[in-house]
Every structure is written in structure tokens, then in C-alpha cells.
Amino acid sequence: MAENRSNHGNAPNNLGKAHECASRHPGERGIFQQKNEEIFQCLNERPTAANAELIGSKAQLKQQYAEFLMRDAEVQLQNVILTSLHETAKGLMQSLNMNEVLTAIMQHATELIGTSHGFINILDEKKGVFERAVGLGHFAPDVGRKLELVGPIGQICQTGELMVIGDYAKLENRLNDPFFDPIYEVVMAPLKQADKVIGMFGLAFLESDRKMTEPEISLLIRFADLASIALVNARLHSLLRESEQKLQQSNEEITAANEELLAAEEELKQQIDELLVKEEALHKQNMILTSLHETALGLMHRYEPEDLLKTIMTGAAKLAGTQHSFIYYLDREKQIFVRSYGAGIYARDFRRKIPMEQGIVGAVYRTGEPVIINDYPEWRRRNPASVQFAELTSVLQIPLKSEGMVIGTIGLSYCDASRSFGKDEVEMLSRFAELASIALDNAILMDSFQKELEVRRQAEEALQASEERYRTIFEAANDGICIHDLGGTILDVNARACELLGFTRDEILAGEVNIAAAGDDAGRWMTRAAAGEPQMYEWQYTHRNNRSVWVEINLKRTFIGKEDRILSVVRDISERKTQERAIRRMAYCDALTGLPNRQYLQERLAAELEKAQRGEASGAILFVDIDDLKMINDTMGHSYGDSVIIKAGAYLFAETSKNSIVSRIGGDEFIVLIPDASNREKVGQIAENMVKLLSRDYDIGASRNHMSASIGIALYPMHGATSDDLLKNADLALYAAKDSGKNTWRFYEPELQTAAYEKMMLKRGLREAIERGEFLLHYQPLVEAGSGELISFEALLRWTGPERETIPPGRFIPLAEESDVIISIGQWVLRQACRFARRLTVAGKGHIRVSVNVSPRQLIADDFVAMVSQAVVDAGINPDQLEIEITENALIPSLGDSIEKLGQLRAIGVHLTLDDFGTGYSSLTYLRNLPVSRLKIDKSFIDQIVSDQVQMEFIHSIVNMAHVLGLTVVGEGVESQEQLNRLVACQCDFVQGYLISRPMPEKDAMLFAER
């Protein structure tokens, strides 16, 4: 049978102690014993008839005596209960650790009732069950049991009241477990927080004759209130510790606050310890203990500091029995005490501020002890000008402390001279102040806890908002973003990454694609990123739709939220790669042939030479030049020349091996780089094959032209350690091949370098020869073929070097024509020839003309006509005394412009001769348009006129053609009489050569003219 709050039975151990206490007060009990003895004596003396009446009186007296003893025992029991509750409060306040508090509750509860068997169940609100946290005696092995909210446990949870189960074995809904069979009676009391059951403790008797009494039940109810407070404090402590750990992770500011909470918690514990020590004297006065107990219960349920201050002031005034009270609270930063609340005569003195070292409050602050002034009107430090406090007779200020430091004071006053603050009142109020200090610390902690919870809530809201912004940015990013753990596993991807990779988010997170799988280096990249080194690399992969995609991947280790992660940003660079390929083609490919260009060749050749310097490579370069391509460009146009270049490049590319490089470096020049080919015989065979390959007929427009090529070969590292040296030496070998008649190949030889040096020195000397007066003119006569009459002199340039050595014209004239120095030399020759013509005029030989050879560079110069005219004027001769000789090749670069300039010279009287006829293009079309009056047949034709009848007939045809065009003909290089006879037979007009005279100095030429 279960009953709430009461069940009668035998007296417990503590109640037995109450009867012992009663025996120690013999006062009234001694009177009854004496009276009883008198009655017994009287009965013995009286007659038997009256005995019955006396016996009845005796029984009545015995009953009254028993009732008195019972009342006396109840009074003593009440004293014991209050003392026990006080001792229990001390025990429970000594710790805030949950396990220690639960153990203390169990220990004190069993001692109060006198049993060895008990348990405590704590409610798990999330799971909706009670868990047995503590077990004593029979329940020791039952710790950890989970109990549903049914039966007596559910009833206590709903009603919140104590329950006694008198005969547990017969309880219908008892737990069906043999473990509970030995139990006869159980009492269970709820542990509550703000009227909400958060646990319960139970006590059990295994003896069949042991029953709970009403005093025991009343004692347990009051004990349960104290245990609830201790449990709430412990839970608050536990919550604070959990909150500290969570808030510590938020930020440094919250961490600092948590540290303050921990410090405050320690302060609370110390203050409780101090309070418990001081409260040991409370058992002396049951009234004080009861008042403090009730007051403490009221304070412990106040969690607002400001509200609690007012409650503390009101409670202290009630205990002291006065209406005049106030409370000071310390503002430590400003070092002042602020009167937070006031009542009675202090109600008008609200918010007074006083320095913390002044007045009564200053004395309390300095000493940490209560200050009593029971003769306030006579106190020498009082303020006599303050009418407000004239009625005061006694003043008491008691400190409120935290960690032993005064943080405020409770002020109480009497306005009645008959009343003063005595020792008992000060002791009672001091203990009240200690409880109030603990409550105030709790309230401050709770307030701080609430504020920190609010800060945490705001931080969580900010974090949620931040996460929402992050997710928005994450998904809206133009680049693919993947989040990896430090091992490289993908934890999250955005939509753009899925689009780039061609997989769904679930497929990527399931590991079907690895964003870092870019070859063998992928693991190293991820490992370096995990080590804190940012990585960037490019990866080409095949999209799910079979499209090739290039991406740039940036890996960086970073914190996302509170987690250490690797962030990979994936950017589509396919378009950039396409542009790079186009740029690379532009930078490294020849626009005409599509072959590698000079830049590409230089880089590859430099790389090869670096390996060669380390002894890791050798090879050859072939410098290929198409012979006489200029003729095609000049006669047919550059587009036809480009066609030859394209075909030649294709032939070379087809002929070379895969590891060789064919590059066009400009014009009609190609370089073939052949790595690992250092055997001269094999390289020579390759060059021979290329010469044969390129020597062929090319379809150019509507015609076929036979073309050939020359090749110069240089081996590396033998023939050069740098690209420039190697190319220069290959170029020297190329010139050697061309000098050998073209359509052949030559290796570089050191002698070529000597020849090149000599050539360079000749070029340098040419620029200084005019200033040093090293040039002079020789003159070779031209005569009428039949009569031998002198017609003209041809001015021929001669060069005597600084060492008085004679340098043949065949060596320096081509060099001069390669540079602009030919312009200055040509001007000098023209002026000297005109002066010679002037001397002839002065000598009476003005009818003899002087001819001057003009180079192509002179002819194309813009001031050519003006320069010739000025030379004629400066020499003071007639223009018809001057004859200009030009070759066919000089006309080709700019035929139209050349014809115009020659026409201008012919118009002023200068004679014009076409030199070396037959060695050039010999086009009748331009021959008819040229304003020339004479042709010179080249010596190569004259040499064979005697031995070759066909050649003689060919020359005869040329003479006939010239005569048809109205031109006279000169045969050059006549060295024998027989050649002269043949030319006369061919009706050649004039002859020139060694047979007539060798070129002679000006002095000898003047003598020759006088003959």
C-alpha cells in the first residue's frame, strides 16, 4: 500500500534519541513521580472499598503523565530535527560536484532515517527515463538501471510529492525483478527545480517490523527541499562547466567569459565553505536556524542580481525587526559604494554614492567585519547637518562578500532608544549575510550565464547567417570549389564543380571522381597542401560527354568553420589553353610554312647545348638555303617564291626523323637540328640526300622551274658552345658551299672562320679606304673592232691596302655591294671618272667617253640621278662624255623605277650601256624598254667563240638582234687576234680586252689617248 507524505510505524533511531533528551529534564517529570508515590502510599492505608476509586485516579494520572512525556519528546524531537537539518545543509553545501552532492544526499538521508539501503534516480529528459545514479546497501549493485516514468515513479514525477509504499511486495505495478523481493517498505521523495521533478531519492527497509513515522516523513520533506537546492546548484555548476567548454570554442571573448565563470565558481565554493564553517553555531538557536533556513530558500530562487539585492535587504530587515534598511553594492571600477535600495528613512536616500574608504561602509570594507553603532546620536563621526538621520539611535552594517572581499553591505537601523543590536542579532544577521553573499554570487553567476547564453545564441545566429552567406557564395562561384579533408577525400562540392567534372554531387562525394587525380604528382600535391604549402597545377581530363577539358587547380589548407580542411578551386582554362596554343603557334611557328621558327629553334638548340656541355648530348645543325630564289621573286613575284619555300620546307620535314627539328629562320633559309648525330659520315649522307631531294623541278604557276639548295653543316659541341656560334659557323659552311658552285653541302672548317675574319677585316677596311686614299682608278680602253679607234675608257676600281698589298676587285667589290659602303665608293668613283673626262677634254680628247659601272644599291637610291648630274656639273664636262654601265641584275630589284631613272639620265645626254649581257635574264621585253644604246657581251661567251661554232653563231645572233633594236655591241674580254677576227666576222661594233690593253693608271691612259 502506498501513501503520500505519511504512514505510521515504530519510532526511528533519531526519535529514540529525542526520548533520551527528555530524560535529561527532570523538572515536571519529578513532580509527577512524587505525587504518584504519595497516592500509592494513601491507597495502602485506606480501606479496600476506596481502592477502586484511587486506582482509577492513578490510571488517569499515568495517562496524563504519558501524554506529557510525549509532548516533551516531540519538542525535543523538533530540536533534533532542526539541528539535523542544519548539519545536513552544511554537508550538502560543501561541494558542487554532482557525484559528490548525490553521494552526500544519499548519506545524509540514510543517516536521518536510520537505514543502510537507499538510492537516487536522476531524470534524463531527452530519453524520458530515470537513471539510478547512486545506490547504497541493497541498491549498490543496481546503479545504472533505467526506469520508465510509470508506476510510483511516474506518480511522483506528476505530483511532485513524497510517497511511502508500505508493503512493497504486494504492490501491483512494482518492478518484476527478484532483485526487489527483499524490500518491505520504500519511501521516495522528489528532487525538484522550480516545482519540476528532476530526480528522486528513495530509502528502503528490509525489516518487516520497520515502518516510517509521520515525524520522519516531515523530516524527509524538509530534507528533500535542501537536497533539491544542493542538486540544482550542482546541476548549475555542471551546466556552467559544459557551457564553458562550448563557449571556449566560439571565440577569445567567450573564452575569457568562461574563465571568469570558472573563477566565480571557485569563489562560490570557497564562500560556501566559509559559510558552512560559520553556520556550525546555528544549532544554538532553533528560531534563528529556522528563520535562516526559510530566508535561504527564498534567496536561492532569486536569479536577478538587482531583484536579489532588494530581497536581501527586505529579508535582513525582517530578521532584525526593523523597517529602516538599505543595501550598498560596490562599483569596483569607480571605487565607490552605491546605495542600490533603501526602506524606511532611507527610502529617500536612493542611489547615494560614497567613496569606498569613507563612513561606516568604509570601515566595513577595510575590516571585512560588521560595524555596530548603538549610540548613533553620540557618534563623533556622524553628520550633524543631516536632519534626515536625526531619528537614528542604532546602526548596523554587515558585509556581503565574494572570495573574502567585501562587495557590498546590508545596513539596518533602529529609531527606538530602547532597541539596540546585540550579539545574537549580529550573529544571526552575519550568517544571513553569508547566505545572502552565496545567493548573490549564484545570481551573478546565473546572470553571467544567461548573458553568455545570449552571446552564444547571437554567435550561433551569426554563424548560421555566415554559413548561409558562405553557402550562397559557395554555390554562386564561377569556379568549381571542392572541400577535402587532410587526406584528400572530397567532403563537399559546389554546382560549378559538378558542371566542370560532369558528375553529380552524390557521385563525386561517393568517390567516383577525384579532383586531384592529375597524374603521378597528385598525391604529392595533396600532401604538400596538407602540410600548409599552397599548390597550383593544371589538369586535362575527359568530361563525361567525351569533351576534353583543361582546368587549373589551386589547393590551399584553411579552416572552414572550426574544421581543418583543404580547399581546392577548379577553374576552366580550356579557352586559355586554346589561346596559349594559338600564341605558341604565333611565337614558335613560321606563319608561311607552319614549321618551327627561329625563336623555337633558339630555345631547343640552347637546351641541347646545355646538355652537350654536361656531356649528355651531341648533334648537328644543317643550314639550308635555296639557290637563286631571288630570281623567282624578282621575275615572277614573291607569292611564287613563297610557294617554293613552302614546298621545300615540306620536303625537308618529310625527310627528317621524328626527333629532328626543321625550322625556317627567314627568307629562303632553313635550319635542320638533328640530335644525337655527331658522325660526320652519316651527317654528310643526310645532307647529300637533302641536296638531291631539293634539286628538282618545281611547279611555279603555269611553268616548271628547276631549283636547288646549298647546305652548311656544323656539329655540336665541336663547332660551337653557344647557339650564335653554332649558327654562325653553319652559315660560314653554307657560304663555302655556295662558293663551290651551289647545289652542294660543306662542313664547317676552322679555315672558314679565318676567311670570315678576313672578310670582316676587308669590310672594315672598305669603310676607311676612301679617307685613307687607298682607292684609285685604272682605265681600260674600248676600241672600234675594225679600225681600232679609241672610243672610250672604262673606269675600274683598284684598292691598295694599308700594307701596300693589292686587293683584287673580285674580293672587295662583292663585299662592298653587301653593305651601304658601295654607295660612298660609287660616288667617289663617279666623281673621279668625271674629273678624268675633264682632263681628256682639256687635252683635246673630249670626244672620248668615260664609262662607270653602277651597282644595284646605287641605282635604287633616291638621289642617284641627282648625284650623277652633280658629278657632271662639278667636273665641268658635257653629259655625253659620261657613260653609265649597268648589269641586268641591277635592274631587276626595281625595274620600273630603274627604267625611269635611266630615262632621266639619257634625257640629259648621259650614255647608257647594258653590261654582262647574256649572264642574266636577257629578256627582250625589258631590253626594248631600256634607254640603253650599247650592249656588252660577257667574256664567258667570247672565251668559246673560237672553239665552238655554235657559240659563234649565238654571238652573231645577239649582234644581229642588237642591231635590229638600234644598239651597238661590245665584245668583252678579247685576249687573242683570232677572237677579234671572229667578232669582226660577226659584225661586232667594239671590242675590249687584254688584246687591246690591260687596265692602266690615269697617267698611262692619258698617254694611250694621245697615240
Task: Kindly report, residue by residue over 100-150, the tens digit of the pLDDT.
Answer: 888 888 988 898 888 999 999 999 888 889 999 999 999 999 899 998 888
C-alpha cell at 725: 656560334
**Cβ 880 vs Cβ 911: under 8 Å:** yes
Report the top-level CATH class of 592-748: alpha beta
pLDDT of the residue at 13: 47
Pairing type for strands 129-136 and 117-124 reads antiparallel
Domain boundaries, the chain: 80-246, 301-447, 477-577, 592-748, 771-1010
Q: Beginning with the edge strand found earlier in the chain, give each strand of the sheet holding 394-402 in spatial order.
A: 353-355, 336-343, 324-331, 405-414, 394-402, 371-373
Q: Name which residue leads in pLDDT, 932 or 78.
A: 932
- Find all residues with CB under 8 Å of 223, minimum gap 6, and list them: 85, 88, 108, 109, 112, 189
**Cβ 182 vs Cβ 206: under 8 Å:** yes
Banded pLDDT at 88 (limits 50, 70, 90): low
Phi then psi dihedrals of residue 397, to 5 deg: -125, 130
Q: How many CA atoms lie within 13 A of 955 on its CB side?
A: 30
Place of cell 527528555: 22
Report the top-level CATH class of 771-1010: alpha beta
Question: In this predicted structure, which of 676-680, 811-815, 835-839, 845-849 has the lowest mean pLDDT?
Answer: 811-815
> Angle at which helices 423-476 and 252-278 pack, to 10 degrees?
160
Kindly report the CATH number that applies to the domain delimited by 477-577: 3.30.450.20
C-alpha distances in Å from residue 466, one per residue of 459, 567, 569, 733: 10, 18, 20, 74
pLDDT of the residue at 297: 58
Expressed in angstroms, the distance from the first to the final Cα of the chain is 173
pLDDT of the residue at 94: 65
Q: Name which residue leads in pLDDT, 204 or 169.
A: 204
Residues 622, 625, 626: CA angle, nearest 5 degrees: 135
| Tens-digit pLDDT profile for residues 152-167 | 888 888 898 999 988 8
Banded pLDDT at 618 (limits 50, 70, 90): very high
C-alpha cell at 538: 593544371
Q: Name which residue leads in pLDDT, 674 or 752.
A: 674
Fold annotation for 80-246: Beta-Lactamase (3.30.450)
Q: Name which residue leads in pLDDT, 575 or 122.
A: 122
In this predicted structure, the answer to whether residue 849 has a pLDDT above a threshold of 60 is yes
C-alpha cell at 714: 656544323
In this predicted structure, the answer to whether residue 907 has a pLDDT above a threshold of 50 is yes
What span, in angstroms and rounded, lies between the C-alpha atoms of 871 and 581? Answer: 58
Q: What is the pLDDT of the chain when averaged over all its residues?
A: 81
pLDDT of the residue at 325: 92
The three state secondary structure string of 552-583 is EEEEEEEEECCEEEEEEEEEECHHHHHHHHHH
What span, in angstroms and rounded, lies between the C-alpha atoms of 247 and 458? Answer: 12
Q: What is the DSSP string of 151-195?
A: HHHHHHHHH---EEES-GGG-TT----GGGTT--EEEEEEEEETT
Determine the 3-state secondary structure of 967 from DSSP: coil
Domains 477-577 and 771-1010 share a fold: no
Q: How many CA atoms lie within 13 A of 302 on its CB side?
A: 22
Highest-scoring range by mean pLDDT, 7-11, 445-449, 709-713, 884-888: 709-713
**Cβ 816 vs Cβ 824: under 8 Å:** no
Residue 659's Cα: distance from chain center in Å? 41
Determine the 3-state secondary structure of 775 from DSSP: strand
Question: In this predicted structure, which of 114-123, 246-255, 701-710 has the lowest mean pLDDT?
Answer: 246-255
pLDDT of the residue at 6: 39
C-alpha distances in Å from residue 636, one per residue of 176, 336, 424, 632: 119, 111, 135, 5
Question: In this predicted structure, which of 10-24, 539-553, 717-731, 948-962 has the lowest mean pLDDT?
Answer: 10-24
**Cβ 883 vs Cβ 902: under 8 Å:** no
pTM over 0.75: no
pLDDT of the residue at 435: 83
> Quick one: average pLDDT of 255-269?
69
C-alpha cell at 20: 533520551
| Tens-digit pLDDT profile for residues 727-736 | 999 999 998 8
**Cβ 640 vs Cβ 700: under 8 Å:** yes
| Tens-digit pLDDT profile for residues 406-442 | 989 999 999 988 898 888 888 888 888 888 888 888 8
* 214-237 b/e (C-beta count within 10 Å ≥ 16 → b): ebbbbbbebbbbbbbbbbbbbbbb
**Cβ 671 vs Cβ 601: under 8 Å:** yes
| Tens-digit pLDDT profile for residues 1-33 | 555 543 434 434 444 343 343 344 444 445 445
Cβ count within 10 A of residue 911 = 20
pLDDT of the residue at 693: 92
| Tens-digit pLDDT profile for residues 439-473 | 888 877 777 777 777 877 776 776 666 666 666 66
What span, in angstroms and rounded, lies between the C-alpha atoms of 873 and 783? Answer: 27
Partners of residue 674 on adjacent β-strands? 620
What span, in angstroms and rounded, lies between the C-alpha atoms of 733 and 747? Answer: 6
CA-closest candidate to residue 439, choices 198, 289, 193, 275? 275
What span, in angstroms and rounded, lies between the C-alpha atoms of 290 and 314? Answer: 17
Banded pLDDT at 269 (limits 50, 70, 90): confident
Question: In this predicted structure, which of 50-64, 208-222, 312-326, 884-898 has the lowest mean pLDDT?
Answer: 50-64
C-alpha cell at 425: 542579532
Side chain identity at residue 259, one-letter code = E
H/E stretch holding 324 reads strand 324-331
Q: Name which residue leads in pLDDT, 588 or 878.
A: 878
pLDDT of the residue at 839: 96
H/E stretch holding 629 reads helix 629-636
Partners of residue 5 on adjacent β-strands? none
What span, in angstroms and rounded, lies between the C-alpha atoms of 721 and 699? Answer: 41
The architecture of the domain spanning 301-447 is 2-Layer Sandwich (3.30)
Banded pLDDT at 384 (limits 50, 70, 90): low
Question: In this predicted structure, which of 28-37, 83-92, 935-944 has the lowest mean pLDDT?
Answer: 28-37
pLDDT of the residue at 887: 84
In this predicted structure, the answer to whether residue 975 has a pLDDT above a threshold of 90 is yes
- Find all residues with CB under 8 Å of 739, minimum gap 6, and list them: none
